[in-house]
Every structure is written in structure tokens, then in C-alpha cells.
Structure 1
Amino acid sequence: MRPAIGVFIINFSASPNDQEFPALILAAGASSRLGRPKALLRMPGTGNTLLDQAIHNGRVLSRDVRVLCGAWYPLIRFRATTQPSAWLQVPDWQEGLSASLATGLASMAPKVKGVFVLVADQPLLDEASLQAFGKAARFVPHQPVAADYQGHPGVPAYLPRWLWPEVTALEGDKGAGQLLASVRATRVDIPGVEEDVDTPEDWQRVRQRLSQTGRTTRQSQR
């Protein structure tokens, strides 16, 4: 297991239950297809960054929210208006998502039962569905749970502790989607999961949707 380094704990006020179910936000990539750090893209009408929104989404699941960073650290830390419980630097972030997952899991205390995993570029996630997802995972903490992508599991996801050795054995720039499928993770519907930002065209489309209506209106229409 890769060691976690560069851990900065700030504003940590999680309840005991939250400390058993932390949330990890994967934000260590270089955003090479976008050409600039996607975590710092400003959402129209609010001034918040995509990372600010991701931290908010993480807090829907747990008050213990940890951000995995790499390529754009410390820039994203100092430009974020919302601070997580911890910033975790991924020393080998160039290896991809697997490195971020390994670093995040290595930071966990023995009492942690499982972790929620989110990414920094899904600003349209439905909050009510996130709440239901978090409650389902805590109710059956040994069962993997993941967002449904037309029959395939993906992020946001919940990884119970017994699955961590297989997660940390992953290599390269891939998440735990195939692993979650192999262990038959419970799939849940979370509107907005397929509206992520990888390219300038993606951001133009997502920004337009964000501009059309505010968060409250979007959720009331689900």
C-alpha cells in the first residue's frame, strides 16, 4: 500500500459516525484534456469552483471530507473558498486514479468502516439522491454501493473496508468500476453522474446547464 504524505488537517469537526465513513474527493489529475485545472472552474452565478461544489457534495455524505490532490497543488488549495477536513497529496499522482485511491485509503484510521469516493467534476449531482445513497451505504456498511451508469457501477461510490486490498492493488489511470462490477455492487440512480467535465466542450455544456437554473430549482425538478 502506498504511504500517504503531505496530510494537512484543518477544520475537522466530524461526528464519531462521520469518522467511520469519510468521503474522498479525487482531484489529483492534470486536466490535460481541458488545458487548465478543472477543479478551479467557476460555476456561473455563485463564484464557487467545481472543487467547492465537490466538497459540498462530499459533506452531504460525511462531514469528514478529504481531497486528494497532485498536479495543481497547492494552487487548488489556496483558491478554494471551501476547505475540506484534510488535503492529501498524492506523491505518484501521474500514475492515475489508482494512486489517488491508494493514498486516500492509506490515510484511514482502523475504525473506518468504509469510504465514499467522489470526483471533482460532477457539479450537477442531485443532492437528494446523494443523501439516499449515503443512508443506504451506512445502513449496510459491508455492501459496496455505486452510482448506476446505464448498467455499470461508477462514482460516486462506497467502498467497504474488506474491499480495500483489491482497490489498492489496482494500477494505472482507472478507478474501481470494474472491481465494483465484479463484486456485484448495489447500483443506485444519482441524476447528474454522466455530466462530468473532461474537455472544453464538456465544460461549455455543463456550464450552460448550470446557468439555466439554480441548484434548488434543479433538484425540485428531479
Structure 2
Amino acid sequence: MAGSVVIVLLAAGEGRRFGSVKQLADVDGEPMVRRSARRAIDSGAPVIVVTGADAERVEDALTGLAVHVVRHAAWAEGMGSSIAAGIRELRRHFPHATGALLCLADQPMIEQALFEAMLTRHRVAGDRVLASEHDDVMGPPVLFPRDCFEALVDWSGARGAHALLEHESARVERFSSHGGIDVDTPDDLQRVRAAIGSTSRETSV
């Protein structure tokens, strides 16, 4: 797809703090990774999912979804390595992509309005770096324009792309996000389940 943003959904970690494969944790009746992938697909952008730890089970949870899966053998090197794997795959399959929207599989509450706002802004300001902000903390989802691909394709380390955000701070725009809870621990999962349950009850009234 020419001139498009591609979503790179990172789902390769082992969930050490969580204590098990958090990508497969049940969120509102489905594995968390599947819920996150569905929400990414609903944005209308192509979606690449980077798997790693327990790859077969995580990939099974994505069965039937219109996503491109890349299994990253070196996932244990950290999130930076998984980002690089996703960007390499993006460049192979979507050579005309104008941006990469990096998302985390453990953020199952990211709102569609955030995706829409970022994609819309990219269409008119394609040179800007677009980052979400939750509780005054900047992070994923974050949209990097095409001229950042060269840096990201060689990325490494455990800290994700925060260093690149800092380096590009002069052209970063922030987007408020109310659904940016990272599920790092079982307590985080309970918070997400409670929040989703509360929203469902409000919708049904």
C-alpha cells in the first residue's frame, strides 16, 4: 500500500514480571494479544505482529486475523531488537510506507480515537513524531515517520524507542491517551479487566 502508515504490534516478550505469557491472558473473553491486534486492524492500517517468546501459542491466538506475523528469534535481546525486526519486515513488505506506528500487545485498552488522531495528523504533518501520553508519561503508541526507519532498523536494548523519542524531541507531538495502561503485572491485568467491565456496563445502560 503506497503512502501508508503500518502498525507494528510488539508481542514478543516473555512477561517476566507478569509471571506467565501475558499476551495470552484473558481480556474480556479473548487473549490480550488478539484484542490488541483487532483494535489495530480496526484503524484501517496494515498490521505487522512481532512474536517471540511462546511464539506458536501467541500466533495461534491470532488465527483468522488479517495480520502479517514475523517471528523474531532474538526476542530475548529486548524490546529494541523486536522493534528492529518489525521495521525490517515493514521495509520488505511495505517499501512505500510513510510511517510506522509502534504499539504494544499489552495495552489492550488503547482507544480507536487515538489511532484515528495519529493517522490523521500524519497525513498532514508527515515529518512529525507522534507519541501518546498517559499520566504525563510519553510512550507507545508512537508513530515514527519514514526518515526514522534507518535508526529503528538497527535498534537494540530493553528500553524500546524512548531514546529516539528523546533525540527527536524537537519534532515530537503528544496525544493524550486514557487507555495506555501497560499490563506488566497481574494487578495491572485486574485494573484493565475492571476498567473494561465498567465501560461495558456504562454502554449497556
Range class of TM-score, shorter chain? 0.7 to 0.9
Q: In structure 2, what is the Cα distance between the partners aligned to 1:161 and 1:56? A: 24
Corresponding residue number in structure 1 for 2:109: 124
Q: Secondary structure at the match of 1:74?
A: helix
Alignment of 1:12-91 (within 5 A): 16=1, 20-44=4-28, 47-80=29-62, 83-91=65-73
Deviation for aligned residue 1:74:
0.9
Q: How many pairs were matched up?
A: 199
Q: Secondary structure at the match of 2:139?
A: strand
TM-score, length-normalised on structure 2?
0.87
> Which deviations, in whole Å up to 9, do the C-alpha atoms of 1:145-199 show, x marking residues without a partner?
0102454431001011111222234321111123113212111112111x12111
Corresponding residue number in structure 2 for 1:187: 174
Say if 1:165 and 1:88 are closer, same or farther in 2 by CA, change over 3 A: same
Say if 1:139 and 1:82 are closer, same or farther in 2 by CA, change over 3 A: farther
Contact kept? 2:18, 2:184, Cα under 8 Å: yes
Deviation for aligned residue 1:204:
1.6
TM-score, length-normalised on structure 1?
0.81
Identity %: 27
Q: In structure 2, what is the Cα distance between the partners aligned to 1:145 and 1:215? A: 32
Q: In structure 1, what is the Cα distance between the partners aligned to 2:190 and 2:202? A: 21
- Runs of 4+ that moved beyond 4 A: none
Corresponding residue number in structure 2 for 1:97: 79
Which residue of the other structure, out of 160, 170, 182, is the alignment partner of 2:155? Answer: 170
Say if 1:216 and 1:118 are closer, same or farther in 2 by CA, change over 3 A: farther
Q: For structure 1, which runs of at least 5 residues remain unmatched after alignment?
A: 1-15
Q: In structure 2, what is the Cα distance between the partners aligned to 1:64 and 1:215? A: 31
Contact kept? 1:153, 1:181, Cα under 8 Å: no
Q: Secondary structure at the match of 2:97?
A: coil
Q: Secondary structure at the match of 2:55?
A: coil
Q: For structure 2, which runs of at least 5 residues remain unmatched after alignment?
A: none
Q: Which amino acid aligns with 1:143?
A: R
Contact kept? 1:26, 1:119, Cα under 8 Å: yes
